Amino acid sequence: MLDDFMIRAGLAALGVAMAAGVLGSFVVWRRMAYFGDATAHAAVLGVAMALMFGWSIFAGVGLVALTMAVLIYGLTGRGQAVDTILGVLSHGALATGLVAVTLIPGQRVDLDAYLFGDVLTVTRMDVAIIWGGAVLVMGVLWSHWAALLTATLNPDLASASGINPRREHLILTLLLATVVAVAIKVVGALLITALLIIPAAAARGFARTPEQMAGLAAVLGGISAVGGLRVAVVLDTPVGPTIVCVAAALFAIGTVVTKLRSVGV
């Protein structure tokens, strides 16, 4: 079954999108979109390092995303406005990555594949790593759910209940780096944040509890992944951006439906 490249692509996209949907709910609630961007943009630098040193792409991207995420985590702990710092780190890492890729001796690198993803070329091994990462992310979210949610709601409430909010924040940060690492081959560095945020935002209007929102975000992410792949094949468009287009369309439909419902149509 995994011999078919379409099946492999579908599975890879599905795994990433579902994990991103659930984690993305936290990104939305905590307003970490920019944080996600910075971590994802750093991935390009990870690609450059992986190619330069002959590592696996996942390892290079994972390492750099992790470093970036922990760096930002350290900076955000001091209660300062951090969007400027995030902007510097985000674009600094992206630009450095773009330059570094061109400096790699010998081969010409297809940058598009890393900026926008190239899911049609994923191998069995890639699919296994992607699902491993996705299952890890969802498993950690599952086991830490109540603590993560309480810490997201209010750090002091968490402290009073014996939960360390900084620790929960660090866990989310590490999960974000994991998602970035497994998503790079599917949607690419520039569109990872979209996969985190759009399904969660689309789910918001239909959810009454955080669990409903996260669950629906996973479903919408999955629909976007499979639907986007299908549309991309039919229209012969790049898969990553098409997946994001489908997600954005779902968001638009969801927003219209929510508005109509609220005015009682």
Residues that bind another protein in the complex, under the rule CB under 8 A: 28-31, 146-147, 149-150, 152-163, 165, 201, 204, 207-213
Give the shortest CB-220-to-another protein separation in angstroms: 15
CA dist 149 → 152, 153, 161 (Å): 5, 6, 12
Give the shortest CB-4-to-another protein separation in angstroms: 39
DSSP 18-71: HHHHHHHHHHHHTT-HHHHHHHHHHHHHHHHHHHHHT--HHHHHHHHHHHHHHH
Give the shortest CB-153-to-another protein separation in angstroms: 6
CB-nearer residue toward another protein: 112 or 211:
211
Give the shortest CB-210-to-another protein separation in angstroms: 6
* CA atoms in the 13 A half-sphere facing the CB of 167: 8
CB-nearer residue toward another protein: 30 or 230:
30
CB-nearer residue toward another protein: 95 or 157:
157
Let me know if 89 is exposed, middle or buried by CB neighbors in 10 A (0-12, 13-18, 19+): buried
User: CA 247 to CA 75: how far, in whole Å?
Assistant: 32
For 118, list phi and psi in degrees, rounded to 5: -150, 70
CB-nearer residue toward another protein: 105 or 162:
162
CA dist 86 → 19, 23, 28, 69, 90 (Å): 24, 20, 17, 10, 6
- In the block, tokens 């002091």 appear at 156
CB-nearer residue toward another protein: 159 or 255:
159
Within the chain, where are the H helices? 5-29, 33-53, 57-76, 83-103, 111-116, 124-143, 145-153, 155-160, 165-183, 192-204, 210-235, 239-262
Give the shortest CB-229-to-another protein separation in angstroms: 28
Give the shortest CB-143-to-another protein separation in angstroms: 13
Give the shortest CB-174-to-another protein separation in angstroms: 20
CB-nearer residue toward another protein: 177 or 213:
213
CB-nearer residue toward another protein: 49 or 216:
216
